[in-house]
Amino acid sequence: MKFLISAALSLTCVTVSAAPVAINTSDATTIAASLSGIGLSKAQKIVDYCQANGCHKPEDLLNIKGIGPKTLERISPDLIFSEQTENQTQS
């Protein structure tokens, strides 16, 4: 019986994992699919802001309505900025 309960609980647990995303070059659909807790609407705001202003560091996203310190803390590990990608390629 314990096995059945354990098996049932493991089936109901859903793990949401985010994937690293290049914030300056990705479209809203990719950002929304890659960042946990970021929907299509907020992802479009990220795209619009980064296209207009450039995003060079995670803190730049705090200028976007709907992204606060807690959200930024949650998504920061999965953000890739163009400068990071270029520097990593040159290493």
Confidence band for 12, pLDDT divided at 50, 70 and 90: very low
Does residue 37 register a pLDDT over 80? yes
Strand partners, 22: 80
Write the class of the CATH domain 17-90.
mainly alpha
Confidence band for 43, pLDDT divided at 50, 70 and 90: very high
Residue 35 to residue 52: CA distance in whole angstroms: 21
Does residue 14 register a pLDDT over 50? no
Give pLDDT tens digits for 44-85.
999 999 999 999 999 999 999 999 999 999 999 999 997 543
Q: Are 46 and 26 in contact (CB under 8 A)?
A: no
Domain boundaries, the chain: 17-90
